[in-house]
Copies of this chain bind each other. A is one copy, B any other.
Amino acid sequence: MSRIVMKFGGTSVADLDRIRNVARRVKREVDAGHEVAVVVSAMAGTTNQLVAWCQQLSPMHDAREYDSVVATGELVTAGLMAIALQDIGVDARSWQGWQIPLRTDGAHGKARIDGIDGALLIARMQMGQIPVVAGFQGIGPDNRVTTLGRGGSDTSAVAIAAAIKADRCDIYTDVDGIYTTDPRIVPRARKLPRIAYEEMLELASVGAKVLQTRSVELAMKERVRVQVLSSFADADGGDLPGSLVVDEDEIVEKEIVAGIAYSRDEAKVTVKRVPDRPGIAAHIFGPLSEAGINVDMIVQNISDDATTDMTFTLSRTDLARAQAVLEAQKAEIGFTTLISDSAVAKISVVGVGMRSHAGVAATMFKTLADKAINIQVISTSEIKVSVLIASDYTELAVRALHTAYGLDA
């Protein structure tokens, strides 16, 4: 007997037939003797509609009102799911964020979970009742509904799993697991049976958006074992094997590189000929930070006279704002020109095995050189090497690296 959280995304509950399918899948786990809690997203399309209404009424709408509007989609699915479960003889009840309560901070629109008392849910589960929790939401210190940001139902599910001390948190989604890279680019990409939290974080934050990044951070912090699997069952109605996101100690046969990620949501800015003196980096990046602009990779050219060039990358959507911020500081910083380029992509190789294996970066550089792909910027971390290249070469680079690290199926 295990205690399991089962989380279903918007496409899995998009209509009444799919809700009935999900109910039957939950019943199979119950019939197998497991204690189950369910977390649901809104029906596909609902949240987008609600967000659009808020934006159309007022682009600068009150985030507290936005939250109270967009959180309703999950309330609908939670109630409908409880009805569908009851209809096939499974005792169930829906839970709204404020009823549990799932307490968050007051950052409306992107709240962080402060705490969940799992005692009530555990007591109900031990009595044989399935809690069906509305994902994506909680209650803030102001006694108002908060939401956890887009994709927040993943984080709800992991937090509930931690609160009720679940053995596993199953995330049912429209992909059937975590792959070594995007299968649309590399048809020979392999599904990973297990992946470490840290690897998943790097892969998620650089573009492999299967799970909300914060849900993985939370899973790592709370040591919740997360399984990603398809909401579409096999021919016998059973689950297809998914990917398990776990502590790296649980992965016996570690690959050196677990996967190749890419992101085209990048832009590069070069600040030309800034005075090469202490504090100049603070002059450039301080104002950007104050404007809420996150800078990713940074490289400073070797100075050949009293000036230097500073190059950095950021999210493409922030480029125009970053240019405006820097132009406003031009006199203060003392640069000559700004050069920007948004035809760039970031390619990353990720793997906890890198910690104990040298040569991963060298293999990457050689592989790209063999394909005549120019590397513009490099950054490395303990378990990741990232390079910035011209975006035209994205597919070529990903395919070549996938082969070079022996990841092809």
Q: Give the B-binding residues of A (Cβ under 8 A).
A: 16, 19-20, 50, 53-54, 56-58, 61-62, 64-66, 68-69, 72, 75-76, 78-80, 82-84, 86-87, 93-94, 96, 98-99, 143-145
Whether the Cβ atoms of B76 and A93 lie closer than 8 Å is no
- A16-B53, A19-B57 are known contacts. Are A145 and B96 too (CB-CB below 8 A)? yes
Per CB-CB distance, the 7 closest pairs between chain A and chain B, nearest first, are A69-B79, A58-B87, A72-B72, A68-B79, A65-B79, A61-B83, A65-B82
Pick from B53, B62, B78, B79: contact of A86, CB under 8 Å: B62
With both beta carbons as reference points, the residue of chain B lying nearest to A71 in the complex is identified as: B75
With both beta carbons as reference points, the residue of chain B lying nearest to A143 in the complex is identified as: B99
Could you list 15 examples of A-B contacts with CB < 8 Å?
A16-B56, A20-B57, A53-B76, A54-B83, A58-B83, A58-B84, A62-B83, A65-B83, A65-B86, A68-B75, A68-B79, A68-B96, A69-B76, A69-B83, A72-B76
User: DSSP majority for the A interface?
Assistant: helix
Shortest Cβ distance from residue A102 to the other chain B in the assembled complex, whole angstroms:
14
Q: Tell me which residues across on chain B come within 8 A of A66, comparing CB atoms.
A: 79, 83
Q: Tell me which residues across on chain B come within 8 A of A145, comparing CB atoms.
A: 96
Q: Tell me which residues across on chain B come within 8 A of A16, comparing CB atoms.
A: 53, 56-57
Whether the Cβ atoms of B72 and A86 lie closer than 8 Å is no
- Complex CA gap A61/B86 in Å reads 8
Whether the Cβ atoms of B53 and A82 lie closer than 8 Å is no
- A16-B53, A19-B57, A57-B84 are known contacts. Are A93 and B79 too (CB-CB below 8 A)? no
